[in-house]
Structure 1
Amino acid sequence: MLDDEVNRRALLGASVTLCAAAHARSSSAAEHQGESNPSFEQMMRIEGGVRLVSQNGTTLDIMCMSEGTFSVVKYRSNSNIDREGFFLKARAASGIHFEGGILRNGDCGLHIDPGKGLLHFFRQGNLVLTDTGTSKHAQHFSFPFACDLYGLGQFRDAIANYRDKSLYLAHANMDAVNSFLVSPHGIGILWDTHAATQFTSQGRHLTFTNDASLTRYHLCLGGHIDAVIAAYRRLTGKAPLLPKWAYGFWQSQERYKSQQELTDIIDTYRAKKLPIDVMVQDWRYWGDESQFSGMVWDKTNFPDPKGMCDHVHSHHAHIIASVWPAFGKASEIYQALDHEGLLFKGTHWSGGKVLDITAPRAREIYWSWIQKGLLSVGLDGLWTDGCEPEFMSTGNRYVTAKSYLDNEKCFVGNISDNLMTFSYYQSNLIYHQSRQAYANKRPLILSRSVYPGQQAFNAITWSGDTFAGWQTLNDQIVAAQQMSLSGIPYWTCDIGGFLVTHRFPNGLQDSAYRELYVRWFQFVAFLPIFRAHGTQIRRELWAMGEDGDPHYEALKKALKLRYSLMPYIYSQAARVTFNNETFLRPLIMDFSHDPKISAYPNQYMFGRNLLIAVVNRPLEAPQTNYQEFIPNYAVVGMQGPAAEVSFFEGAHFEKLIETRASDDLKMSWFGDLPIDLKGKPYSARWKGRIVAQESGIHLFKITTQGLIKFVMDGVTRVVSKGSEAGFATKADGAVSFADHEGDDVYSFEINLKAGQAYAFELTQSQPKHDIVSLWVEWVRPSHKAELQTSPNKMIEVYLPLGSGWYDLNSGLTYQGGQTLKLRPSIQDMPVFAQFGSIIPMSSGIDYAMQTPDQIELHIYTGADGNFTLYDDEGDGHNYEQGAYRNWKISWNEAKQYVTFHQCDTTYPSAAREISFTIIKHDAQSNSIIKKVTVSPSKTSIIGF
């Protein structure tokens, strides 16, 4: 419920006083922001809503496509555009009423002020948001009061709260935009223009700015964030169940170089009795770059891909492989697409070209090759890499956007109006075609990019090619929560970071990195998808050492804990599908009443019952290379939101080749340069401002080759002639190279003041062609201390108000509202269960679809509790027709008994009776165990 100062007057009747008050507030906001709103002279009913037309030809359509949701489209009446987008093709919601300038949708309403072009949105009589109009390609909103804001997807440099922040919404390798913004007050805005956008929050005002041909957004309202996300899913598509095996452990590596290597890995997992479900084959299984992602298999190293898949399947495991939307010029699919003009003109870094995924014929050809080259040999899913789409480089959102925009047109129109949607088309195609071709299997897609609604296609997003470091781990924890709040339930990341040696040149020989890897592994064990992947070091568990090694034992413990929780995990997944719930639950979802939770961004709920506190700093060994990338949001332009970089042919700025926007002060491979500079000496100049995030002495570190000059705040901080060492190094434009061999390192210190912007100019001259290495990093005053080991090896864990909590490691109980100081060993991760939690577990399974001999049912007493234990066939789509078991189990605290309620649904292979070991935990750390066998077909009560 909103504060009393916010207008609480009833919506019904739409009194003149209420409308005048809302109008006054919105008009004031409009005047403040300088909008010029059209006056609408015509108003007419359309299906599911109303249409307004202005004298200048602007049309405004307002529709109610689902309960609690208003969809708004603004466009020029004579324009030839896709008004509907992806989500306005369905029938409108029922129970829509329009009278007296008010459009009602359930308990939500919209008052239209046609004279000023203002839209006032209400819920239960309370004003929640005003559309204050558009100006200069900007859409403006005003809240009744300033509020916290979350969602928008996942970004490399994560922001925990977007209140009073600005953010460029565009895809890149480590930035996946799901443009759904939510407030804990039950408000969600889905920005749906398909274009890159600058988002700005200032006070109670929001602005979305782009040059799209239309404005289209959807307002989702509810009593809380869960209701808002449910409204988003009703509009954009529910999230189907993944195959049960997808919730197990995924083993991946950049890359397995032969099928023998891959099959040896699965053999070793089974021999060591380490649970596993998915083997992943990364790129180059097709051979050389001329066949890049050509949906063929290199006959030397992968002579029998079907036999490889069969071998994995024989171990009760599954296999997926990566596929790009770009193809080498010698591949048959390239020839087929090129023959029909279905490839973009821009060059992909492999030397091939990217297909126009928006063209139906391109999708038809693409699918035919996927099916006959990959799925037909037995792959169980696909990993769609580089689907922003990637051309030469996607490490930077501005560069990624420009590379795509340079192609100008796609099948459905201007790329500028379709910039964000590539992965949506791709996932939609693969999901629906896979369902049709393989009716007994649930599709599975691992995607590096995302668009609203992609959850409807069994698509999992992961966070791209991250760099190892404790700061990265902290960013990933926040990114996971923001993606979840944006309505996407399935997300994961590369355990330990994709790239390791930039900060940990000794890799697994460095005890500091092994500690980081363990803590990252423990974190991902409590994500919806549990996947190890990366380069430079081996990622199999035994790479950490043999039996008895504390780090290896820690990985084994976390892995087995994950598998023991499989009944809990699969049941939570069912809630996502059937109830539109959220799997990974940031604390703001369940404890918004507690003001202290914002100080603990490393904590979240895993399902409804388990509180996870990730160990997010070193306790054993400090990270010695503690510099970090200057975050994107700290690198801005002299006037605009991003810095400017100009590239020149020649080492002395002889010929300007290209100028682009950039908020990233790093180049690490050849694709970061304009393609016209390949094979040539070059020079570059960056200009912009660096915004200090905290006050104090900052250490800047620049790692590079060639001539370098860095001027900041009017003072030359670094100037050098470089060295000749680079001639014999591996700094050849690869993503990474051995310990920056041949690079020069420069550093300086400067005292900065938080919030102040400092002008800088950075120039680099590189006489050695194709040598790409430039890294500008800093050490914030607080950061070095954060990366030292805690003197007492302790971390703080906050237990939210409103519940009592069990520490699953110690068995001790605590009341909420207090901060604990814990000393977790390397094998322990702080996990807490709420009072009243019922946690089903199955110890001893080696793969997710294995039927356990019995289920352990842990009852954490102290409050009444309920849990719905879900199961089905584990794959296929029969569950959509009711072939599942949804079994309610409850705990009565007063009477101390468990009830297994009669279950009216089942599936053909379901057991008629199930053995449970019930373990009742109490506040005195006592446990009572009972073994029972119960039938889902009748109610059973077990007393204690």
Structure 2
Amino acid sequence: MNRVTIAILALLAPIAMCAQGVKIEFFTPSVVHVVKYPGQPVTPESKVIIAKPQEVKLTRKGSTTSSSELTVKLDEKTCCITFLDAKGKVLLREKSHTFTPLNQTFTLDKGEAIYGLGTIQNGKMNRRGEHKRMEQSNLEDFQNVIQSIKGWGLYWDNYAPTQFDDDARGMSLTSEAGDVIDYYFMYGGSADGVIAQMRFLSGDVPMFPLWTYGFWQSKERYKTAAETESIVDKYRELQVPLDGIIQDWQYWGSNYLWNAMDFLAEDFANGKQLIKNVHQKHAHFMISIWASFGPQTQQFRELDAKGLLLPIETWPQSGISHVWPPIMEYPSGVKVYDAFSPEARAIYWKYLKKLYDYGTDAWWMDSTDPDFFNPKESDYQHPVTGGTWRSLRNAFPLETVRGIYQAQRKDDRGKRIFIMTRSSFAGQQHYGSNMWSGDVASSWEMLRNQIPAGLSFTLTGNPNFNTDIGGFFCGSYNTKGSGSAPKNPQFQELYVRWMQYGLFCPVFRSHGADAPREIWQFGEPGTPVYQSIKNLIDFRYRLIPYLYSTASQVTNNNFSYMRPLFSDFAADKKVWDMTDEFMFGRSILACPIVEAQYTQEKIIKEDAMTGWNRKEVTGESAEQADWTETKTATKYLPKGANWYDFWTGKLYKGGQNVVLTTRFDQVPMFVRAGSIVPLGPVMQYVGEKPWDNLEIRIYPGADAEFSLYEDEGDGYNYEQGYYSNIIFTWTDRTRTLHISARQGGYKGMLLDRKFTLVLPDGTTKTIDYNGNQVTVKL
């Protein structure tokens, strides 16, 4: 036996004085797997954990086992565990546990902040005092990952609906199904450290195609192939950048053909040609697919014959597609497939392959929660592959997304997989998916909620998050008839501010119902609202070199795009529960405006079902707004750094509130002193122009380093080492910039280029670069 086995076995068997068995297994010096079982020893098979235990040198003294990073103490009377760091500081204590119901309760420190769990839409970051039943839904998704300001994390490896509670009795997790308590304790020392441990356990984050970081346009829904193609044409005509167009549902025809995965509707007679035409316009094509099938589809018939459909009530409830509310006398017969079955996943891909053969670039996997209406006890007890619907419910999005990713990787055609999905479970970051936050209502409150929801999602190890810019349901702003919201100043202000937030999300995507969202819907070129949107889209393309380099750090070094401020400034307690600011990568402090400044804030309460009832709006008139006025906003600059206003270059000391003069067409943002930020050219689509003269912005005040990452932009050759890094190092004391020799290479890379160096005071210098190191004094 190796050392790890010997050391672990001392704790594998039930302790004599314990009423139950306890298994404590060190995966690494800082990750411990705990299993408690009431009967015979059990080693559960995880759907999430793909790592294997490493060889870890351990020492044992009585019921205490230690690695170089952690000490685990087992109380032999209560079977409760205490986790301590290498210096003996208590990190987390178990308080009690039961098996019926399946519950584990922990004791937290007074004032200890905890984070994560998933996209909870209540506007909070800190989960202290939270009581939440965690079951996947349209608007909220859960990953069972918690982390503490003290630097520890916990993954609860259970897929049933689970109740999370934190109150005077402790922090507890209570699952509705399961035979054993099964969790992983991770000590990372920081938010980044916990994320790194979670990704070690459940998988890293593959690179997305470079083009996915451009601008996406969508709506619910383009109703003909000609309309879909015309949107791309109009963006090109107006010279507004665009990289992705999305075809939402019903291109397949009636609800009885729901999700047939083919262009069967009369107005989509030649879907293959549509995709080809989009590609010829230098855009990419994403299409809506679902986890359910109508009774007239080939998929339904094949899955049904094999017993691989679930009896749960799902969307759409009626076969009549154009009437709301649903006419239940004509049930759709649509059923969700058993995504837990390898055979069902293979059938799913067999039919989806037709759209892949047509040239589809990316998948919009909708309702991967999946929608589950009027649940009955018999539904929860229905058997699925490997368990019951109750016992596996929350892992559904993981299994269905993983099925597509693995199948497409086997049929690799030089395209990186990009899946946008409505739901997520732990580990899903490993399978090429970006989650959006569901059918959120168009309101300022909901915009405010998206920031902590996205940050909380990121803290579970999943870095890829986005929202429907402007909110999905905007019907309450249609004050001058159907679809008039983009002419209503109340919606215009909300949309532009939501877009300014979206600028800092990994995917920058406009989508929604009730009114179209294309830029020309908001006015003519040159008008204030139109121009504000245009400037934002242009600026997004300038940020792509910074964003894509951050993406490489996400993949290779466990970084995150969207970072709660305590990730970098944990010593500043003022940021522990901050919900309106965050770091975008390591250098940029995003401070979006999330309150109305030019119009009256409209209070809207809608859920994902009532929003579909297109309410007529009466008794309201759209107010006017002077978009040229300047306003003020107060923002906090974290302690521990000094900050440059991105737009003015003014330097502020951290640890203070600052009152900013704000503009409608500009999002407040700062750059940390001691940063290097590369900016690219404005282009109509990714790849239109080479990055042969990037602007390299240098922010003095501290030493800085930035690694400019480049690769082929698509395909998986980067996994074989085909990429390059150019490392920029700023030495503040000597005001010297060192540019390294280019490291690595790939087919088609630039051999000679220029860099234009820019300081906040306006100092500018352009240099030639041919791959050899350069040193410049500024």
What TM-score comes out, normalization by structure 1 length?
0.75
Q: CA RMSD in A?
A: 2.5
Distance 1:118 1:359 in 2: 36
Q: Does residue 313 of the first structure (1) align with residue 310 of the second (2)?
A: no
**2:615 maps to which residue?**
738
Q: 2:765 aligns with which of 921, 925, 930?
A: 930
Could you tell me which runs of 5 or more consecutive residues in structure 1 were left unpaired when the two chains were aligned: 1-42, 393-398, 630-665, 670-733, 743-786
Matched, 1:391 2:353: no
Q: 1:69 aligns with which of 6, 10, 31?
A: 31
1:864 to 695, 698, 703: 703
Letter in 2 for 1:514: Q
> 2:515 matched to 1:537?
yes
Q: Assess if the C-alpha contact under 8 Å between 2:27 and 2:56 holds in 1.
A: no
Structure 2 equivalent of residue 745 of structure 1? none
**Aligned counterpart, 2:223:** 257
Distance in 2, matches of 1:204 and 1:106, equals 32
When Rg is computed on C-alpha atoms for both structures, the one with the higher figure is 1
Q: Residues 385 and 67 from structure 1, CA distance in 2 versus in 1: closer, same or farther, beyond 3 angstroms?
A: farther
Q: Distance in 1 between matches of 2:230 and 2:67?
A: 58
Deviations 1:491-519 (A, max 9, x none): 00001110012365451231011001000
Residue 107 (str. 1) matches residue 84 (str. 2): no
Q: Secondary structure of the residue that 1:478 maps to in structure 2?
A: helix
Q: Do the aligned partners of 1:522 and 1:558 also contact (CA within 8 Å) in 2?
A: yes
Pick one of 478, 484, 499 that aligns with 2:458.
484
1:596 Cα offset (Å): 2.4
Deviation of the 1:271 alpha carbon: 1.9
Question: In the alignment, residue 525 of structure 1 is paired with which amino acid?
Answer: L
State the Cα distance separating 1:455 from its structure 2 match. 0.2
Contact 1:248 1:276 in 2 (8 A): yes
* Residue identity in the other structure for 1:933: D
In the alignment, does 2:732 pair up with 1:897? no
Conserved? CA contact 1:244–1:875, under 8 Å:
yes
Mapped contact 2:11–2:22 kept (Cα < 8 A): no
- Aligned-pair CA distance for 1:428: 0.9
Task: Answer yes or no: is the 8 Å Cα contact 1:481–1:585 preserved in 2.
Answer: yes
Q: Which residue in the other structure is 1:359 paired with?
A: 341
Q: Secondary structure at the match of 2:714?
A: coil
Shift of 1:158: 3.2
1:840, 1:856 within 8 Å by CA — same for their partners in 2? yes
Corresponding position of 2:444: 470
Once residues 372 and 774 of structure 2 are traced to their aligned partners in structure 1, the CA distance between those partners, rounded to angstroms, is: 60
Match among 504, 511, 532 for residue 489 of structure 2 = 511
Cα separation, 2, equivalents of 1:105 and 1:736: 58
**Counterpart in 2 of 1:126?**
89
Alignment match, 2:773: 939
Q: Does 1:226 align with 2:186?
A: no
State which of 194, 215, 221 in structure 1 corresponds to 2:181: 215
Range moving further from structure 2, 336-345 or 209-218: 209-218
AA aligned to 1:206 is M
The letter for the 2-side match of 1:444 is F
Q: Corresponding residue for 2:385?
A: 411
Within the candidate set 223, 237, 245, 2:211 is matched to 245
Partners of 2:477 and 2:490 within 8 A in 1: no
1:616 aligns with 2:594: yes
Which residue is 1:148 aligned to? 113
C-alpha distance after superposition, 1:572-611 (max 9, x if no partner): 1111110011110111111122232257421111000001
Aligned partner of 1:176 in structure 2 is 141
The answer to whether the 8 A contact 2:729-2:737 is kept is yes
Q: 1:244 to 1:105 in 2, by over 3 A?
A: farther
Residue 403 of structure 1 deviates from its aligned partner by: 8.2
Map of 1:635 onto structure 2: none
For 1:563 and 1:825, locate their aligned partners in 2 and report how far apart those are by CA, in whole Å: 21
Could you list the runs of 5+ residues in structure 2 that have no partner in the other structure?
317-331, 620-624
Q: 1:192 aligns with which of 152, 157, 160?
A: 157
The structure-2 alpha-carbon separation of the partners of 1:402 and 1:862, relative to structure 1 and needing over 3 Å to count, comes to farther
1:835 and 1:862 in contact (8 A); partners too: yes
- Per-residue deviation, 1:50: 3.4
Aligned in 2, Cα 1:360/1:449: closer, same or farther, shift over 3 Å? same
Tell me: CA distance 1:55–1:595, structure 2 relative to 1, closer, same or farther (3 Å).
closer
Distance 1:418 1:55 in 2: 33
- Counterpart amino acid of 1:141? F
- Tell me the residue number matched to 1:83: 44
- SS of aligned partner of 2:261: coil
Cα offset for 1:273?
1.6
Separation in structure 2 between the aligned mates of residue 75 and residue 376 of structure 1, nearest angstrom: 48
Mean CA deviation greater in 840-849 or 466-475? 840-849
Q: Which amino acid aligns with 2:753?
A: I
From 616, 636, 641, the counterpart of 1:798:
636
SS of the equivalent of 1:843 reads coil
Within the alignment, does 1:626 sit opposite 2:626 as a pair? no
TM-score after normalising by structure 2 = 0.91
**Paired residues of 2:381 and 2:388 also in contact (CA < 8 A):** no
Rate the CA distance shift 1:586–1:88 in 2: closer, same or farther, 3 A. closer
Paired residues, what number? Answer: 743
> Which deviates further from its counterpart, 868-877 or 291-300?
291-300
Q: CA deviation at 1:484?
A: 1.3
Counterpart position of 1:328 = 294
C-alpha spacing 1:514/1:54, structure 2 compared with 1 (3 Å): farther
Q: 1:599 to 1:69 in 2, by over 3 A?
A: closer
Number of the residue aligned with 1:695: none
Residue 559 of structure 2 is matched in structure 1 by 581
Checking the alignment, whether the CA contact within 8 Å between 1:872 and 1:883 is kept in structure 2 is yes
Matched-pair contact (CA < 8 Å) for 1:346–1:407: no
User: Structure 1's 599 and 142: CA in aligned 2 closer, same or farther, altered over 3 A?
Assistant: closer
Q: Larger relative CO (CA 8 A, sep 6+): 1 or 2?
A: 2
Amino acid aligned to 1:932: I
Task: Give 1:468-867 correspondences, 5 Å limit.
Answer: 468-502=442-476, 505-506=479-480, 507-598=485-576, 600-623=578-601, 625-626=602-603, 628=605, 668-669=609-610, 735-739=612-616, 793-850=631-688, 851-867=690-706
Report the structure, 1 or 2, having the larger strand content: 1
Q: Which residue of 2 aligns with 1:769?
A: none
User: Separation in 2 of the partners of 1:258 and 1:67?
Assistant: 57
The residue number in structure 1 matching 2:201 is 235
Distance 1:57 1:143 in 2: 24
Equivalent of 1:92 in 47, 50, 53: 53
Q: Which amino acid aligns with 1:223?
A: G
d(CA) in 2 for partners of 1:107 and 1:82? 24
Tell me, yes or no, if the aligned pair for 2:22 and 2:79 is still in contact at 8 Å: no
Aligned residues of 2:20 and 2:79 also touching (Cα < 8 A): no
Query: What secondary structure, in the 3-state scheme, does the structure 2 residue paired with 1:823 have?
Result: strand
In structure 2, the CA distance between the partners of 1:562 and 1:60, relative to structure 1 (3 Å rule), is same
Q: 1:565 to 1:325 in 2, by over 3 A?
A: same
Shift of 1:98: 4.5
Structure 2 residue identity aligned to 1:796: T
Shift of 1:169: 1.4
Q: What's the offset of the Cα at 1:320?
A: 0.9
Report how far residue 560 of structure 1 moved.
0.9
Instruction: Render the CA deviation track for 1:458-501: whole Å, top value 9, x for unaligned.
Output: 11111100111111110111211111122210000001110012
Tell me, yes or no, if the aligned pair for 2:441 and 2:605 is still in contact at 8 Å: no
Please list the CA deviations of residues 829-856 of structure 1 after superposition, one character each: whole Å capped at 9, or x if unmatched: 1011111111001122222344233100
The 1:853/1:267 distance shift into structure 2, 3 A limit, reads: farther
Does the aligned pair in 2 maintain the 1:48–1:93 contact within 8 Å? Answer: no
| Counterpart residue type for residue 93 of structure 2 | T
Identity in percent? 31
Matching residue of 1:368:
350
- Asked whether 1:885 is paired with 2:747, we answer no
Name the structure 2 match of 1:687. none
Whether the 8 Å contact between 2:123 and 2:452 is mirrored in structure 1 is: yes
**Alignment CA distance shift 1:164-1:110 (3 Å):** same
| Separation in structure 2 between the aligned mates of residue 429 and residue 349 of structure 1, nearest angstrom | 21
Contact 1:144 1:204 (8 Å CA) reproduced: no
User: Would the alpha carbon gap of residues 916 and 215 (structure 1) be closer, same or farther in structure 2, given more than 3 Å must change?
Assistant: same
- Aligned-pair CA distance for 1:889: 0.5
